[in-house]
Chain A
Amino acid sequence: MQVNENFEPVIVAFCCNWCSYAGADLSGTNRLNYPANVKIIRVPCSCRVNPMFILRAFQRGADGVIICGCHPGDCHYTSGNYFTRRRITLLYSMLDFLGIERNRTRLEWVSAAEGAKFAAVMNQFVEDVKKLGPNRRLEDLRCRKQ
């Protein structure tokens, strides 16, 4: 695949309020760099992420979607992220089945103490999506910026 060097993907990151959002915060206070491509949406728990949110993000111009939550066992609500894990596994698998590039979707567990991990994950994800190029298979042509 031809890589467009100038391509800057739009990444939507759904971050759980208790761990990953705080992790993102920590990475900022630690002055760690992560790309400005990442748009964070704070959710009360990773299991708040309805599969529809992910599709809508792609519809409206996201090139990659990542979900971040507390490590399994550390959920603020005891078990939310366990449900997330099953649900999102099935959804990602279905997107892959429909021929949507699998590297456009990701799930990572990032705790409030893992500022460095947050930055590393985002750097890596942006890199991966850059290689894929713009989202064409799951975009809504009407929403493409002219």
Chain B
Amino acid sequence: MLKISASNLNALFDRIAEKQTLYIPVDREPNVSEYKKYESGMTMSKALNTVRSAKDFFFPQTENLAEFKVSGKTIEVKDIRKENEDFVVFGVRACDARSFGILDKVFLSEPVDSFYKNRREHGTIVTMACTRPAETCFCTTFGIDPTVPGGDVSVFFDGENYFFLDNTPKGEAFVASVSDMLEDGDASKLAEVQENTRNIMKKLPLSGLSTDSFGGERLMEHFNSDKWAELSESCFGCGTCTFVCPTCQCYDIRDFDTGNGIKRFRCWDSCMYSDFTKMAHGNSRNSQLERFRQRFMHKLVYFPANNNGEFGCVGCGRCLSKCPISMNIVKVMKALEDK
């Protein structure tokens, strides 16, 4: 397998960044990481995962869609698209890599979202295998193997060298473009590292969590469960869980009057917000219970019902560590599952 030594990783980054924009996770504070545009000299974070997910690269929090200029009875529409530039995201974890598949099902099914599609086509995802999962991790519940992270190129670290394995034609092209910096290496230690990580996964506190009690066929039963009242009682309706979630994909489109034209933009929205379902006739979800239920029903019941049983969660654990009141999908699953 092709490899590069840890000491040469930055040289590789410099090379990638010459041709296209490169994003890597960097530490903002010790062990708190975020994706940053790579500039020479940056060090890749060793933290398990970024605070915000990698979905931002394909589905940014705000993006301008079009501009209008109105003069008299004519409207001039300006195409302001900028999402046609190639870029590489390095160091994506297996959970986030899976989340793109879930977002694809939403944005690439008819009618195709061309903004998302362009970004997907121009982005190369280089993933990184996990070696030190946290207690909040439960990706295995959704059939994800964090030691085989996927994406266009999978990268494995054995303590000394980074090994590259391409998974797609795009990944193959990427590896080829930097192949002169890579050398053939002995990957025999990798199997041991992977085995070790898999064993850790089995020991994690959430390793027993199962999706057996969920899916489309349990819709009415879960919807009418009397557990929602207790689960949602202390939820104060912020959007933290939705905004750190790699699979939440709801958005709002609005026009902004700049005084010299109109900018039509879209931005993330959250089903936890009171005005999420506000329409001309009123609001169809008036209590936090209904809004709270919607978020989890969507991930555990509605999404699999419409997508051949695939769940809308990847077990990254971000909502577990970020919810201000520590209410999260794991607690919901445990409360609703068959005892």
Contacts and interface: CB of A to CB of B under 8 A. Distances in A.
Contacts, number: 11
Contacts of B263: 142
Contacts of B236: none
Interface residues of B, number: 5
Nearest to B265: A142
B199 interface: no
A143 interface: yes
A146 B259 contact: no
B260 interface: yes
B188 interface: no
B258 to A, nearest CB: 5
Interface in B222-278: 256, 258-260, 263
A14 B258 CA distance: 21
A115 interface: no
Contacts of B258: 140, 142-143
Interface residues of A, number: 7
Interface in A107-146: 140, 142-143, 145-146
Contacts of A142: 256, 258, 263
A60 B257 CA distance: 10
Contacts of A140: 258
A60 B260 contact: no
Max count, chain B CB within 10 A of own CB: residue among A61, A142, A145, A146: A142
Nearest to B260: A145
A134 to B, nearest CB: 16
Interface string A47-61: 000000000000011
Interface of B: 256, 258-260, 263
Given A143-B258, A143-B260, A145-B260, 7 more contacts: A60-B259, A61-B259, A142-B256, A142-B258, A142-B263, A143-B259, A146-B260
Interface of A: 60-61, 140, 142-143, 145-146
9 nearest A-B pairs in the assembled complex, by CB-CB distance: A143-B258, A142-B258, A143-B259, A60-B259, A142-B263, A145-B260, A142-B256, A61-B259, A146-B260
11 contacts: A60-B259, A61-B259, A140-B258, A142-B256, A142-B258, A142-B263, A143-B258, A143-B259, A143-B260, A145-B260, A146-B260
